[in-house]
Amino acid sequence: MSLYALVDCNNFYASCERVFAPHLIGQPVVVLSNNDGCVIARSDEAKAVGIPMGAPLHDYHAMMKKHGVAIFSSNYALYGDMSARVMRSFHHFTPDVEIYSIDEAFLGLSGFDETTLPDHMRRMRRAIRQWTGIPVSVGIAPTKTLAKLANRIAKKYTSDGVYMMTDHDLMPRILGDIEVEDIWGISKRWGARLRQLGIGTALQLQQASPRQIRQSLSVVGERIVHELNGHPCLTIEEVQPKQTIMSSRSFGKMVSDLQSLEEAVASYTARAAEKLRQQNSRAGGIYVFIRTNRFRQNDPQYSNAAMVGFDDATSDTASLIRAAMGAIRHIYRAGYRYHKAGVMLTDLTAQDGGQMSLLNPDPTPDETRQSQDKRMAVLDRINTKMGQGTLFHATEGITLKGHKGGNIYGRRIHDPRIQGTERWRMRSQFKSPAYTTRWNELAQVK
């Protein structure tokens, strides 16, 4: 029998913060959304004191202070790097790994001895905790849908964080206690539709007619029924390159001037270009948008977007930024307080694919695709080794801190003539250091 495992990092963002602050183990920890708005991650201790998911910081700050809750701004550089370390660890225990999200992965376990498999997963769990500091839970079952449910049981009801759902005699009791909306792939809308059919639990859905479920929901619903009955319909998939890449943020402060918007859009474009090269792709176009805050009803509202296509697909940051600057200057209108901007790279092709345009004039030698690729390879290599933003395009904005010298993306400079705004950057009052991706923010031992 083929088996699958769903491995989930427990309270992932909070666990990442605890790796480098072990004194917080056993204490409540929360992580905030962009601009320190609301709670997006909680430790078990934070849940226990009554802090709900999505709690606005300004409403719960007094309560957090009363219970000694450690508050952190989102540190995506840290979380992304810690996730990559965890995901690499899985390959030491099985060759079949499908990364499902930043904190979840499916493992293919074909060929493993079922009798020793739980112990093998416990060894993996201990190794990941030792190698990365991140606790994980493991659910094992004959299908991916059942593995997701098994993981819920492993996380909530086991002492060793591993649960194997293969006992057919126990299956009805387990599925009978699970609400239909808690099944992977069943949305609230689908759950409401199923309840109209008298199906409210996973057991009732398992016993339903696959044909009826297909008619009421879709072929996806039919597959879920088969998966609940132990018949795999979803296999382990390799990570596929994204078809589009988006980079956008709400601003830390409302901005009205064109320079701030240009800096923001240039910065977002650079981040998107990095992701583009990481998956060995090129973009055939870039979509740029800006918008005001629709929730501020007393402010005049405006939103607009522009699309720029390329004759030759590119992954060169400078080329993408030039196109984005043309787009933002075209759609910018003075007199508005802008709340958000973003870019999306479209028409992605493989880096070694795509056809060069016959209509473009011959490029100058230093602007050929080969020279651009070499330049971007150097930029990525230095930023990977020395920390993101070590090298960057000046269009992204330069910040001065202090009277003597300054700080650019965490690196000291000594030119008081350099000026910049960067009012658009996200608020991160409680952000921890980038312990694993910046040399100058490594953990210090005292």
Question: Is residue 208 helix, strand or coil?
Answer: coil
CB atoms within 10 A of CB 369: 17
Which sequence positions are flagged as catalytic?
A: 104
The answer, yes or no, to whether residue 298 has pLDDT greater than 80, is yes
Q: Under a CB-based contact definition with an 8 Å cutoff, are residues 307 and 285 in contact? A: yes
Residues 8 and 114 in one domain: yes
Question: Is residue 219 helix, strand or coil?
Answer: helix
Q: Under a CB-based contact definition with an 8 Å cutoff, are residues 322 and 353 in contact? A: no
Share of the chain above pLDDT 90, in %: 63
- Average pLDDT for residues 387-400, to the nearest whole number? 77
The pLDDT of residue 236 is 75
The pLDDT of residue 386 is 77
How far apart are the C-alpha atoms of 96 and 93, rounded to whole Å? 9
- Average pLDDT for residues 352-370, to the nearest whole number? 57
Longest alpha-carbon distance in the chain: 75
The pLDDT of residue 360 is 55
Residues 129 and 45 in one domain: yes
How far apart are the C-alpha atoms of 74 and 59, rounded to whole Å? 19
Has residue 193 been placed in a domain?
Answer: yes
Cβ neighbors of 327 (< 8 A, separation 6 or more) are 265, 286, 288, 306, 307, 308
The answer, yes or no, to whether residue 413 has pLDDT greater than 80, is no
Residues 335 and 387 in one domain: yes
Has residue 298 been placed in a domain?
Answer: yes
Has residue 418 been placed in a domain?
Answer: no
Per-residue confidence band for 345, with pLDDT thresholds at 50, 70 and 90: very high
Residues 81 and 103 in one domain: yes
The answer, yes or no, to whether residue 361 has pLDDT greater than 60, is no
The pLDDT of residue 355 is 56
The pLDDT of residue 353 is 60
- Number of domains observed in the structure of the chain: 3
> What is the CA 224 to chain-centroid distance, rounded?
25
Share of the chain above pLDDT 70, in %: 89
Residues 297 and 312 in one domain: yes
Residues 176 and 154 in one domain: no
Domain that residue 119 falls in? 4-164
Residues 150 and 179 in one domain: no
Q: Model confidence over 35-65: pLDDT tens digits?
A: 888 999 999 999 999 999 999 999 999 999 9
Out of 100-114, 244-258, 286-300, 343-357, least confident range: 343-357
Max avg pLDDT among 74-78, 158-162, 309-313: 158-162
The pLDDT of residue 404 is 32
| Beta bridge partners of residue 140, listed in sequence order | 5, 164
Cβ neighbors of 142 (< 8 A, separation 6 or more) are 1, 2, 3, 4, 166, 230, 232
Cβ neighbors of 251 (< 8 A, separation 6 or more) are 35, 264, 338, 339, 340, 341, 423, 424, 425, 426
Residues 269 and 356 in one domain: yes
The pLDDT of residue 124 is 97
Write down the mean pLDDT value for the chain.
86
How far apart are the C-alpha atoms of 278 and 320, rounded to whole Å? 16
Has residue 116 been placed in a domain?
Answer: yes
Out of 56-65, 358-367, 384-393, 394-403, least confident range: 358-367
What's the CATH code of the domain at 215? 1.10.150.20
Q: Report which of 215, 160, 229 is spatially closest to residue 10, judged by C-alpha positions.
A: 160
What's the predicted TM-score (pTM) here? 0.72
How far apart are the C-alpha atoms of 430 and 45, rounded to whole Å? 19
How far apart are the C-alpha atoms of 431 and 415, rounded to whole Å? 27
The answer, yes or no, to whether residue 416 has pLDDT greater than 50, is no
Has residue 240 been placed in a domain?
Answer: no
Q: Which helix (H) or strand (E) holds 119?
A: helix 117-132
Token match 């309560």: residue? 63
Single out the residue in 118, 133, 164 at which a domain terminates.
164
The pLDDT of residue 356 is 56
- Average pLDDT for residues 332-351, to the nearest whole number? 91
Residues 82 and 156 in one domain: yes
- Average pLDDT for residues 139-152, to the nearest whole number? 95
The answer, yes or no, to whether residue 268 has pLDDT greater than 90, is yes
The β-bridge relationship of strands 349-350 and 281-292 is: antiparallel
Residues 112 and 212 in one domain: no
Residues 79 and 141 in one domain: yes
Residues 214 and 337 in one domain: no
Q: What is the DSSP string of 226-267?
A: HHHTT-------PPPPPS-EEEEEEEEEEE-SHHHHHHHHHH
Has residue 67 been placed in a domain?
Answer: yes
